[in-house]
Amino acid sequence: MTPQDASKHARDICSLAPIVPVLMVQDVAHARPLAEALVAGGLPALEVTLRTPAALDVIREMASVKGGIVGAGTLITPADVRAAKDAGAMFGVSPGATDELLAACEAADLPLLPGVATATEAMRLLARGYDMLKFFPAEASGGAPALKAIGAPLPQISFCPTGGVSPDNALSYLSLPNVICAGGSWVAPEALVKGSKWAEIEALAKTASQLEPK
């Protein structure tokens, strides 16, 4: 997969809804009902971070949920890429980007949303052919004003800001012309997941799916 194709696929996935849930799931038993609740609420693209021992099994379970498009987050090494692909991940997300990681995703035909925090990082990825990127950590890197400033000289690049995005500031990002969607964890709070409060999670997802700038 070429970087151009990877970015096209990533852009298509990011365009499905204004919010991509960022999920850190501890118990594989929660995987299917959680995915079903989020998809039913209008958020089909799901990022499962590889931060728990259960993550790969969670991806396997969620990958079979009708209407869901499940990706693997926190990809750092080529081994992560292979494991995520084998588990059924349909896309990948990384906090940053190395040549080794990019090459592994391209070889595995796994569309990648690579992370950047600066204009230089964004320019390097653009030179390789990537024009759909993750802005991370969004709030710690200056928030929506910083992303707006980066977009001025680099209008050909689109972003999915992640990291500190919340219901309170999501619209400040989504209103930017260079933002396609945002990543957020608030749609699946740990307490609601552990309590199997799937109807409440679906309601949060529905609200998030309707976020749009006025």
pLDDT at 214 over 90: no
- Within a domain: residue 52? yes
Instruction: State CA 144 to chain mean position distance.
Output: 17
**Which among 41, 39, 11, 38 is positioned nearest to 181, based on CA atoms?**
11
Residue 134 bears catalytic tag: yes
**Residue in 36, 61, 106, 134 annotated catalytic:** 134
pLDDT at 76: 98
Mean pLDDT of the chain: 97
Give the span between the Cα atoms of 115 and 163, in whole angstroms. 11
- Within a domain: residue 214? no
- Within a domain: residue 63? yes
- Within a domain: residue 177? yes
Give the span between the Cα atoms of 159 and 180, in whole angstroms. 6
pTM of the model: 0.96
- Within a domain: residue 10? yes
Give the span between the Cα atoms of 38 and 198, in whole angstroms. 9
Which residue type occupies 190? E
Residue 100 bears catalytic tag: no
pLDDT at 82 over 90: yes
**Residue in 47, 61, 106, 202 annotated catalytic:** 47
The total of structural domains in the chain comes to 1
Confidence class for position 213, pLDDT limits 50, 70, 90: confident
Give the span between the Cα atoms of 70 and 82, in whole angstroms. 15
- Within a domain: residue 146? yes
CATH number, domain with residue 112: 3.20.20.70
pLDDT at 211: 96
Angle (CA) 81-85-88 rounded to 5° is 145
Per the structure, the complete domain to which residue 165 belongs is given by: 3-209
Instruction: Name residues whose C-beta falls within 8 Å of residue 174's C-beta, 6 or more positions apart in sequence.
Output: 18, 181, 182, 211, 212, 213
